[in-house]
Amino acid sequence: MTRPAAASADTGSLVDRVLARDRTAVARAISLIERGDAGAGELLRGLRRNLGRAHRIGITGPPGVGKSSLVSALGAMIVGQGKSIGVLAIDPSSQFTHGAVLGDRVRMAELDRAGEIFIRSMATRGQSGGLGPRTDAAADVLDAAGYEWLFIESVGVGQVELDIRNLVDTTLVALVPESGDQVQAIKAGLMEIADVYVVNKCDRPGAGAMVAAVQSSVALQHHPDPAWLPRVMGAAVINNEGIAEILTELERHRQHLSTAGRLLQGRRLGMTARLRKRMEQQLAARLRDGGAGPELEPAVDRILAGEESLEQVSERCLSEWMEKLTGGTPRGSKT
């Protein structure tokens, strides 16, 4: 109600310029979002009804498998076909890999004669791996701006790869023919989430065995969409080998999604998972603020003294907190 008219006018003009795919405006919009600027909410409200046209693709996998090189190679091919591409590279520790990634970005920018590529690295740290509300909002900016292909590339470890599936239409997992990475990928649950698998660096020894191992895993898995059997593609991005085939496979998946209402169904599932997770996070924050602070100290000491189990104490403290919320007197309270 007391929103400054000038800021609103600014944001309104920014919305229009983003929708017209003005690169400077797109960059400024993402910066607003990254900074958590007050105008970000209004901006996103302005873009909200122009979403859902981009084919959102998540690219993930262990560190060092060549994800950003793969995105660069795919981007070059997409631009060559006269299409536009937006890239969000989410790197939880970009300060360490910045050199290598920057090289790929520069090569990719050189290809962008027609201004049809927009690349943004979002440096974040912490356990969420950066796939939080800001990644989401930045992807919405690129979607609203009309980039036809939207790549979200995430280096994360563990849970991050699993979360990316909920943000995108198609998930690509990249691996390399090295047993360490394979074991790690399997541990991270990567073998259960992808629509397309790419074994990169297939010029190296062991590539055939790795492709076969991934194929066996895929055959055993229960893909969330029973009508889709993920393929395992070999590639050597450094020699530009296998890129056209990967792009075709991504298009084939998009084609698959466009039938029988699968695209909407997939987006519903992903959004439900994200909504549930967001509710859990907000609930945990409320708990931390009001029921899991210093008041836990006596309970912790009872557990350490062997008087009660962690499980018992947790149940009781939670019930007390919830009863406090309802305004009642907590059961078992001794005060």
Shortest distance, CB of residue 306 to its own copies, whole angstroms? 4
Indicate the residue type of 221.
Q
Q: Considering beta carbons, is residue 34 or 245 the nearer one to its own copies?
A: 34
Query: d(Cα 80, Cα 226) in Å, to the nearest integer?
Result: 34
Contacts from 222-230 at CB under 8 Å and sequence distance 24+?
222/192, 223/195, 224/269, 225/195, 225/262, 225/266, 227/256, 227/260, 227/262, 228/195, 228/253, 228/256, 230/194, 230/195, 230/196, 230/197
Q: Is 283 in the site for its own copies (CB under 8 A)?
A: yes
Q: Is 51 in the site for its own copies (CB under 8 A)?
A: yes
How many degrees, rounded to 5, is the angle at CA 62 between CA 194 and CA 29? Answer: 80
Q: Is 275 in the site for its own copies (CB under 8 A)?
A: yes
Contact region with its own copies (CB under 8 A), list: 78-86, 109-117, 228-236, 277-285: 277-285
Q: Is 280 in the site for its own copies (CB under 8 A)?
A: yes
Residue from 10, 22, 28, 50 in contact with its own copies (CB under 8 A): 50
What DSSP character marks residue 81? T
What DSSP character marks residue 236? B
What DSSP character marks residue 241? B
Residue from 8, 258, 282, 329 in contact with its own copies (CB under 8 A): 282
Q: Is 268 in the site for its own copies (CB under 8 A)?
A: yes
Shortest distance, CB of residue 145 to its own copies, whole angstroms? 15
How many degrees, rounded to 5, is the angle at CA 209 between CA 208 and CA 210? Answer: 90
Residue from 23, 28, 93, 98 in contact with its own copies (CB under 8 A): 93
Q: Which of residues 8-37 bind its own copies (CB under 8 A)?
A: none
Query: d(Cα 189, Cα 112) in Å, to the nearest integer?
Result: 35
Q: Which of residues 112-141 bind its own copies (CB under 8 A)?
A: 126-127, 129, 133, 136
Shortest distance, CB of residue 46 to its own copies, whole angstroms? 10
Q: Considering beta carbons, is residue 80 or 327 the nearer one to its own copies?
A: 327
Catalogue the E-assigned strands of 20-169.
Answer: 55-60, 85-91, 117-123, 149-154
Angle at which helices 23-35 and 39-47 pack, to 10 degrees? Answer: 130
Q: Which of residues 211-250 bind its own copies (CB under 8 A)?
A: none
**175 close to 61: Cβ distance less than 8 angstroms:** yes
Strands of the sheet containing 231-234, edge to edge, are: 117-123, 85-91, 149-154, 55-60, 170-175, 196-199, 231-234
Q: Is 276 in the site for its own copies (CB under 8 A)?
A: yes
For 154, the enclosing helix (H) or strand (E) is strand 149-154
Q: Which of residues 186-215 bind its own copies (CB under 8 A)?
A: 186-189
Q: Is 325 in the site for its own copies (CB under 8 A)?
A: yes
Shortest distance, CB of residue 292 to its own copies, whole angstroms? 5
Q: Which of residues 304-323 bind its own copies (CB under 8 A)?
A: 304, 306-307, 309-311, 313-315, 317-318, 321-322
Shortest distance, CB of residue 159 to its own copies, whole angstroms? 6
Q: Considering beta carbons, is residue 45 or 248 the nearer one to its own copies?
A: 45
Sign of the alpha-carbon torsion through 31, 36, 37, 38: positive
Q: Considering beta carbons, is residue 239 or 272 the nearer one to its own copies?
A: 272
Q: Considering beta carbons, is residue 84 or 154 the nearer one to its own copies?
A: 154
Residue from 160, 173, 196, 243 in contact with its own copies (CB under 8 A): 160
Q: Count the neighbouring beta carbons within 10 Å of the beta carbon of residue 83.
A: 14
Q: Is 265 in the site for its own copies (CB under 8 A)?
A: no
